[in-house]
Amino acid sequence: MNSYRFDWDDRLCIHVPMLLHDWDSYSAAEQAAIIGEWEMIRGSIPEQVIAFERIINMKQAELFEEESFERSCSLNFEIADYASRINDLHIWYRMNQELESRRHS
């Protein structure tokens, strides 16, 4: 049984690592395997950010034309949600840099 896995995150539309132990308790080989798999996933993050930005742009265009207050509030909420997803993706994107620097220290 693996001591780590990558689970699908519906909100972010990527697989995210689920480590079952503290990072330092993994062997160098396990750390390299985790980082290798993560690097493949990490490479798709910029494309996902762009996809979310397109959705935001469409919702902003819709908001610009919207006359209903309730719908405007809903659109603002949706825009904020996608902006939050982008922020979370940026955090995940930086994760590899943190792991690599810890591994080399």
Beta bridge mates, 17: 6
Phi, psi torsion values for 23, nearest 5 degrees: -50, -45
pLDDT in tens, 66-102: 999 999 999 999 999 999 999 999 999 998 665 555 5
pLDDT in tens, 11-59: 999 999 999 999 889 999 999 999 999 999 999 999 999 999 999 999 9
